Structure 1
Amino acid sequence: MKHILGLILMVFSFFLGFSQSDNDPAIWTYEAEKISDTEYKLIFKADIYEGWHIYSQFTDENGSLPSEFTFEKAGEDYELVGTTTESETLTEYSDIFEVDETFFKEKAVFTQKIKLLNPEVKQVTVDLFYQICKEVCIPKDEIFHISLTGEEIVVAEQNVDQRSLDMSAALMLDLKNKELLVNGDKNAVNEKSGLWTIFVLGFLGGLIALLTPCVFPMIPLTVSFFTKQGANRSKGIANALLYGFFIVLIYFLLSLPFHLFDSVDSQILNTIATNVWLNLFFFLIFIFFAFSFFGYYELTLPSSWANKMDSASSKVGGAFGIFFMAVTLAIVSFSCTGPILGGLLGSTALAEGDVATNLSMGMTGFGVALALPFGLFALFPTWLNSLPKSGGWMTTVKVTLGFLELVLAFKFLSNADLVGNWGIFKREIFLGIWILLFVLLSLYLFGIFRFPHDGPKQRLSVGRKITAVLSTAFAIYLILGLSKITDLKLLSGFPPPHFYSIFETESDCPLGIDCFKDFDKGIAHAKKVNKPVLLDFTGWACVNCRKMEETVWSEPDIYPILKDEYVLISLYIDDRKELPSEEQFDFKYESGRVKNINTVGEKWGTFQTLNFNAASQPYYVIMSPDLEILNTAVQYTDRDTYKEWLKKGVSNFKELGQLK
């Protein structure tokens, strides 16, 4: 269990590592030392900044990531003589992984002997993957181009073949009236409104965390500490408010590293959020979180962390001491807040828009809710008397959260199934599992069965009965949706789409509308029937795409326009289905970076970025079969705006026809 926790921490450490300064904490040098006409010694040296360390190649495999060398063309141009040797290392026990880890401090030296098989070889290329750590761990990748003759090496620019160049050029459209696209965001739903929604969701998550046994008992203790320790009441209040501010700051800072992803690749956040294996990872993590809430085990950070923070708060004092007290709260309460924060991370990954900004707003909202009682009760200490006593009701809150974690877990499993085109986790199966979970939650709340950490059986409280009735009502609502008595519009975007069913359907397109999933075929059909094109950049795991289809497209005054007036081309950006080998190619950006286009999603994602300078979904464009843009692009928007946008596109197409 601690190994799983360590893996989670390593993932978060990876994200945090991007927030380091631009200066690398390790400076590498390398050289080739000639031994004979055919033998050389390759030497790699790292000067490591104070406080940092790099792991050995031979550190325990159950611990942190080891250093790993890859010698390109070894066995072809040259052979390796023996293994890569290392300079002196240190060994320490890891509390997280519970193993002895081997690493370098201050300096690391690696040496590898090689023997040439091809006497014409003048240079070798070596790839080193390693992990450098301080408070956080940063995975790094270094590529060494080593001259065997002492001559300067000019690294050749990565080239692609003519076939790839031709296929890349075919992705670029000769769009007319393209300037309309610049103003497309004006028709999108107010982004600030969406951010405030995320903030409120984070705030609600923080309020729920307050009701858990890890946080709730600490409120009166902490407030009393500040009000009694201050030289006067105003000083105590000021310290409590500062404590609350630091809580908000800590949770906000945890989101900052995610902002650096956007500068790597415009499609990277979408790729991460819709990656099959990452969705499966989230599924397993949420199952793990859920059973910790059910009381089968305790999810805690190493106690030494909390002890160090607590000790620091006592020694430092003042504002810094209060900051360390806030860090201590975050560590001690992790067993309850961790799964909720995981849900927040998962929810923002599912949401549309800037994932990093969403996460910052959500984490800030969570921190504000967590900090709020410390400030309020410091200002109004008599309110402490009105707080309910800790008890079994907090266990009920944790178990309810556990069931909600399971509900979210199966959403990630559904994403993996949709993106991976497995065809297993169909809409009916998904709804059936959700029905089962809410029925089980109702049975638990009504006292039909219990979990290991439940206390003595007591009379059911009014709140518990109300929650049980609500859970039962929601299960009935799902059953009505499964029976197709209701359309489940309240859940649009969460279950798999209607056409993803275990029963045979006439179409695998939204709402049964005839659609094309290939741009060229769709354009050819539009020319044949002389209709405008609705270009729909969408995704299998795109929540807002499903909401648009099920709550806007399905409207009686919009559906006929889509069905009769347009040719719909739906391009799935997250489709991981491999392209036929003859359709796979390498796309070269102007910067010189080369991207392998191997899947359907990679092709259409690059197509969207290249032609429309956009990377979000849903993203809608109206054009003529001759590639003339007929209206501004829109994204997730409301019913009335979308209807007028569609009608304007048809009107502009007819005017264009008259002009011609």
Structure 2
Amino acid sequence: MRKITLALFLFVLAIAARSQVVEPVTWSFSQNKVSETEYDLLLTAKIDEGWHLYATELPEGGPIQTTFYFEGLENAELSGEISADKEAIDKFDPSFQLDVKYYEKEVTFKQCVKLTGTSGTVNGYVEFMSCNDETCTPPMDQEFSFKLDGGNAAAATTFQADTDSDDAGGQKRNYWSIFFIAFLGGLAALLTPCVFPMIPMTVSFFTKQSKTQAAGIRNGIWYGLSIIIIYVILGTVVTAVFGAESLNNLSTNPWFNIFFALLLFVFAFSFMGAFEIVLPSSWVNAVDRKADKGGLIGIFFMAFALALVSFSCTGPIVGALIVEAARSGGMAPVVGMLGFSSALAIPFALFAAFPGWLNSLPKSGGWLNSVKVVLGFLEFAFAFKFLSIADMVLDLRILEREEYLAIWIAIFMGLALYLWGKIKLPHDSPMTHLPVSRFVLGTMVFAFVIYMIPGLWGAPVKMISGFPPPVDYAESPQGVGKSQVQGVATSSVNVDPGKHIGPHGIPLYEDYDKALSESIKTGKPLLIDFTGKGCTNCRKMEDNVWVDPEVKKMFLEDYVVVSLFVDLREKLPESEQYISETTGKKVRTVGNKWTDFQISRFHRNTQPYYVILDQNETELVEGYGYNSDPEEFISWLKTGLEMNRNK
């Protein structure tokens, strides 16, 4: 009886352990006969809530895309490209600095084939990966087989596997954040010399138009709404002409990123006073004549006149906002123009309704031109973001992390000197003394410059995370001159042939057997990092946890660390390929090997995942998954060290 109870207990433990292997994607395969010689092969993926499956086309340097391999075709040939039954969600991934596409819930891929005999077969497999907002699965593959024998549908097969994703939810981007950024852009535009002086003119216009206070309030509200309508129409036209998804696709194209950068350079130089962007005077005069007619139509054209007259100042801001909103696709340009126009419209509507408030406004002066110049510096800096994306997509490595930071340091140093009055630009008014406001703002910008400088030597500079290229897209992982590794002297880092320089300059083993030998030799516990080149959440752990000084110190001094990449596509020699006893799947690549190792030994298949072993390969403490709190990770590492000392 005791033996039966023990066996049952062990069986329950085995089931519980196996349940740690997540399977968020289920595949089913079927076929439709189109004609006597044509068939549609349907490959359907059902995706669990909160997970997503990557699309079939992704830029280089990102996650692993879904790929279909049709290897065994007998009396059949492929016709055309494989296609999906719906548009993929397109979203910017800050960890990879790329736009990635993925599917949620369910998607069916279709491949057309032509039969070249009386019957035929199509064999192959699909390779895929998925993520949620905390973890990713390794690339998995599922074999399929179709028999083309008169159009009878082959028996559908199903398989559950893991796929890689980055964020759940499926929003193109947080529209509220776009609205807020655009709203700030509208407030900045309000303080430019093309817009601010228009406020007294507006008050004068509405003083003549409004006979009573009620009429003034009504006209002011209509004036504000007219401004919003005009700019929202602009955003709608941009979205309609280019298409919601086309805007995003363009923004991922390196050549259009270069075009966007050049556009921002033009806007920046215009703000700095090199030249002025103006619309044809005939347009402005025509709208002015319409505004003189009065009434609601006249008020609308008054708002239109404001948009045209102020274009030399608002145009660069509007252009930059539309370019940035294009990165999100969907209705982002419309939302952006709504935010921008709201910030612009509210003050004008209020002053139109309550002209007496005009007395509280500061007088126009040279400070308005200074606002334009500051905006010019900012647009000049942001232009390099688009150049950086193009550089990374093309893998030119011209604008790596160090160069990018050096350029930003120079730009913002120039801005600080301008605010302190050390640099003069065209249209600047004479300055007999330095205003306190400019001194304070210049000092803050200078402090920002000092903050960025350590980034040249490998500091994370989290305040501007997402703007510079990632740390691995740099001249050296150790920083400029290789004099320091993110706060760890290079003299203490021994990089032997079995290691490679990992994130934040931490040397890591890349071969499990060599790492185990080193663990046995030194008596240090072995830390396994199950990771992936295309694992977004692994990058998040590295950027938020590995960068902690105490974590790095423990990695270097207390542990032997090996990183096993589950998505390496390097083929194993034929003699080393095998069928997994755990999954029943063929292990073809190095990544498959480490995936099978993780599943069979630790009953997990998600990344990131960390395991601590002693010299006998016994697990010292329960494995550690995604958790971006450095203190939690440090506590886990200390527990592993304590268990290793007490064994």
Superposition TM-score tier, normalisation by shorter sequence:
0.5 to 0.7
Question: For 2:345 and 2:271, how far apart are their aligned partners in 1?
Answer: 23
Distance change in 2, residues 1:361/1:567 (3 Å): farther
Q: Hey, what does 2:308 align to over in structure 1?
A: 331
Residue 552 (structure 1) shift: 6.2
8 A Cα contact 2:182 2:339, kept in partner = yes
Distance change in 2, residues 1:158/1:256 (3 Å): farther
Question: For 2:413 and 2:228, how far apart are their aligned partners in 1?
Answer: 36
Distance change in 2, residues 1:388/1:430 (3 Å): same
Distance change in 2, residues 1:416/1:310 (3 Å): same
Distance change in 2, residues 1:322/1:264 (3 Å): closer
Q: Hey, what does 2:339 align to over in structure 1?
A: 365
The letter for the 1-side match of 2:465 is: S
User: What aligned pairs does 1:551-590 form with structure 2 within 5 A after superposition?
Assistant: 551=544, 554=547, 567-568=564-565
Question: Does residue 1:305 correspond to 2:288, yes or no?
Answer: no
Q: Hey, what does 2:543 align to over in structure 1?
A: 550
Question: For 1:629 and 1:251, how far apart are their aligned partners in 2?
Answer: 52
User: What do you get for the CA RMSD once the two structures are aligned?
Assistant: 4.8
Distance change in 2, residues 1:333/1:490 (3 Å): same
Any idea what SS the aligned residue of 2:396 has? coil
Question: For 2:453 and 2:268, how far apart are their aligned partners in 1?
Answer: 24
Q: Hey, what does 2:41 align to over in structure 1?
A: none
Question: Does residue 1:345 correspond to 2:322, yes or no?
Answer: yes
Any idea what SS the aligned residue of 2:179 has? helix
The letter for the 2-side match of 1:550 is: D
Q: Hey, what does 2:168 align to over in structure 1?
A: 185
Q: Deviation string for 1:264-306 (max 9, x for gaps)?
A: 86xx555322211111111111111111111111111222222
User: What aligned pairs does 1:388-537 form with structure 2 within 5 A after superposition?
Assistant: 388-484=362-458, 486-503=459-476, 511=504
Question: Does residue 1:287 correspond to 2:265, yes or no?
Answer: yes
Q: Hey, what does 1:227 align to over in structure 2?
A: 207
Question: For 1:545 and 1:381, how far apart are their aligned partners in 2?
Answer: 57
8 A Cα contact 1:534 1:622, kept in partner = no
8 A Cα contact 2:292 2:298, kept in partner = yes
Residue 223 (structure 1) shift: 2.6
8 A Cα contact 1:348 1:358, kept in partner = yes
Distance change in 2, residues 1:641/1:551 (3 Å): closer
Any idea what SS the aligned residue of 1:502 has? coil
User: What aligned pairs does 1:77-226 form with structure 2 within 5 A after superposition?
Assistant: 173-174=141-142, 176-177=159-160, 185=168, 194-226=174-206
Q: Hey, what does 1:322 align to over in structure 2?
A: 299
Any idea what SS the aligned residue of 1:331 has? helix
The letter for the 2-side match of 1:293 is: F
Distance change in 2, residues 1:533/1:253 (3 Å): farther
8 A Cα contact 2:190 2:196, kept in partner = yes
| Aligned length, in residue pairs | 411
Distance change in 2, residues 1:421/1:328 (3 Å): same
Any idea what SS the aligned residue of 1:452 has? coil
Distance change in 2, residues 1:193/1:271 (3 Å): closer
Any idea what SS the aligned residue of 1:216 has? coil
Distance change in 2, residues 1:237/1:557 (3 Å): farther
Question: Does residue 1:241 correspond to 2:225, yes or no?
Answer: no
Distance change in 2, residues 1:384/1:168 (3 Å): farther
Any idea what SS the aligned residue of 2:468 has? coil
Question: For 2:507 and 2:370, how far apart are their aligned partners in 1?
Answer: 48
Residue 510 (structure 1) shift: 5.1
Residue 474 (structure 1) shift: 0.9
**Larger-Rg structure:** 2
Question: For 2:230 and 2:243, how far apart are their aligned partners in 1?
Answer: 24
Deviates more, 1:245-254 or 1:406-415: 245-254
The letter for the 2-side match of 1:284 is: L
Runs of at least 5 residues in structure 1 that lack an aligned partner in the other structure: 1-156, 516-528, 572-620, 634-638, 648-660
Question: For 1:245 and 1:545, how far apart are their aligned partners in 2?
Answer: 47
Distance change in 2, residues 1:394/1:631 (3 Å): same
The letter for the 1-side match of 2:177 is: T
The letter for the 1-side match of 2:475 is: I
Distance change in 2, residues 1:415/1:394 (3 Å): same
Question: Does residue 1:375 correspond to 2:349, yes or no?
Answer: yes
